[in-house]
Chain A
Amino acid sequence: MDNHTPPDNPLEVMAKLEYEEALPDGDARYVPTQEARGSEQTMTRLARKFGWNPSNNKFFAPTDKHVLFFGHIGSGKTTELRRYMGRFNASKHFFVVEVDVLAKLDRNNLQYSEVLMAMAESLLEQLAREGFGVDEDALRPLREWFAPAVHTHTESSELNAELKTGLQAGGGIPGILKLLASFTTSFRTGASRKTEWRQEIRNRFTTLALAFSGLIRHVEQLLKVKGRAERVLFLIDGTDKMRGDDTQAFFVHDAEQLLSIQTLALYTAPLHLKYDGSLGGKLDADIVLPMIKLYTQEGERWEPGWTALRELLLHRAARSLFEEGDTGEVQIQRLVEHCGGHPRELLRLLKLCCEWADERIDATVVDHALNQLASEYRRFLRPEDYTLLAELDANPIHCGNDKRAQELLYRLALLEYNDGGWRRSHPVVRRLAGYLQAQSLLKQAAQPAAAVSSTPPSAHATGT
């Protein structure tokens, strides 16, 4: 960070705020959040799933492992994973191949068939980028798989000649890349061949899976000989942003196809998938990137969370944008508190402040920002949602995990901490009259019980 100077003008801050931007490994704006999230063990747990113990650097990888990585929308999954993968790569145990399905494919109606092709394409691209060549013998099974597909489906096509070039022996990685790129491009652009290709892959999937798994094994041997890595690890990013039906098809119905590729793979996945009970244990599905927490489950202030988020904020906006001394510090703390530990929500509040602020972000500006964000939640919350949120806040052991709770999690009105250890409503929601009313009704209903309860109310749930 230390060469990074945050902007000191609200308009400049606003110009540089892009919510969807995941920070690359090494970005100066990155703030370590492991302690703040209570996720010091997340990377270690992830590494262990792939056979690496970072504490003693022992390594013994499973033959194959397909792991899902869950997290709230905008909670920093990609940013964190890139950071983790930097360490994985540096360990020399792993050759990490990032497959950005959003960039390579069409997210609309995405299926395992095209993800598989994108994985193969990304692997070969990365090998080529790092200057590795692959023996013709290793490429032959894949090339042979393509041959009938190309002959069947590209007769009289203008791509025919180019594809047939790719089929010729001796073309090496560039030749196969041409074939793979043809697939992924047709998937991305929705060309008429998309359906044919997809059918072709389904019809002869076993052969393809064997060919691809064989190629991966060969690459791993090659990388090991060169001292670069022992195993290939695919980071498949963007699969947390698929359509609802496609998410189910990809992770549930077609899970067997994913598993038939003998490799190590890590997929980003939407948090609600973890709780809807449909995964059925086929994929490894227990790692969640926790939210940054500001309080412990017992309601005590969690300083690392406050520190990390303050730092994150001040990487995006200069401290001079706030008033000097404690007066400005109070406003920074208010912004941090009301984001609930969610980095994108903090950036959203900052942007709202910049829409209001002439020069400095003061108490009035922060009030406006908080009220505006709260009003955006009011647009979709229903009366019964407020009741559920108030109940969850009031009762730490309330384990409401029905569809409604899942929907609230998905929409960030409910935030989850410590790998799902506990949940709290979004702090700005607690400013809304609907919530306050639900909370008041709940208290009235609980009064007789309170006389016999010794559990103190959660500090985090008292509202603002």
Chain B
Amino acid sequence: MNAEPASAELYEVKGPSAVGGGWHRFFELLWLMSVTEFKKTFFGTVLGYVWSLMRPLLLFAVLLLVFTQVFKLGSEVAHYEVLLLFNIVLFGLFLEGTSGAVGSVVGQEGIVRKTQFPRLVIPLSVVLTALFTLGLNMIIVVIFMLAFGAPPLWTWLLFPLILVPLLVLVCALSMLLSALNVRFRDVAIIWTVVATALNYATPVIYPLQIIQNEALKHALMANPLAPLFQQAHLWLINDPKTESLITAAGGPLPLIAAALIYVGICVAGVWVFNREAPRIAEQL
């Protein structure tokens, strides 16, 4: 158990940081922590996987009932049930990623305060776990889509073009929120409200074309999530009634705003987390 001879070379210890300890270690830890968390949810209980599917499926069943039977949406929108399930699962990534990340750094206090640990791993592992869940849920969605007779389209292959920007946004938000939550503990509470609001401000449970108020529809497109979900809708189901991004936005302005907000969140996420990382342990 003798250690190998230490390199006599002295190197500077820079103190805690977001990534500290090299990228290799960073990714190994990220992977290991996400897998661990994932295993815990899926193999920790008898019904594991079933339970994790229950939530989106139950939500789906309720919403489907409400919107097809009460609001009679089903007749107006082609393959509404497929769109609804897909959207719920996709928004699940956003919801699970951000809401899980908000309290993650505070929740992992023991690790943060007691060991040398790249801080960024903590919120990002939550996002990665959410991504695993999305992957599993997507299997069901695909089966469901085929079962309900949504014709397979080549544009389904473009799905990564939706997923990657969404994932980047979720990562940036999780960094921003988890770092802020260390300083201001009510960020987590505020975020549950904001996330619910975003759920309705994004065409998740309703298709954009049912909104009669044009100004409202255009304003909604300034929400960075809205163009992503609308584009997903366009690629998912071939329906001439689905409006293109520019039509829904009524001009380029809301889309430019969305892009700016998107970039702003990303920059803020990286900047705030980097700035807070060295001090996180002291503030817990």
| Co-assembled chains A and B | no
Binding site for A on B (CB under 8 A): none
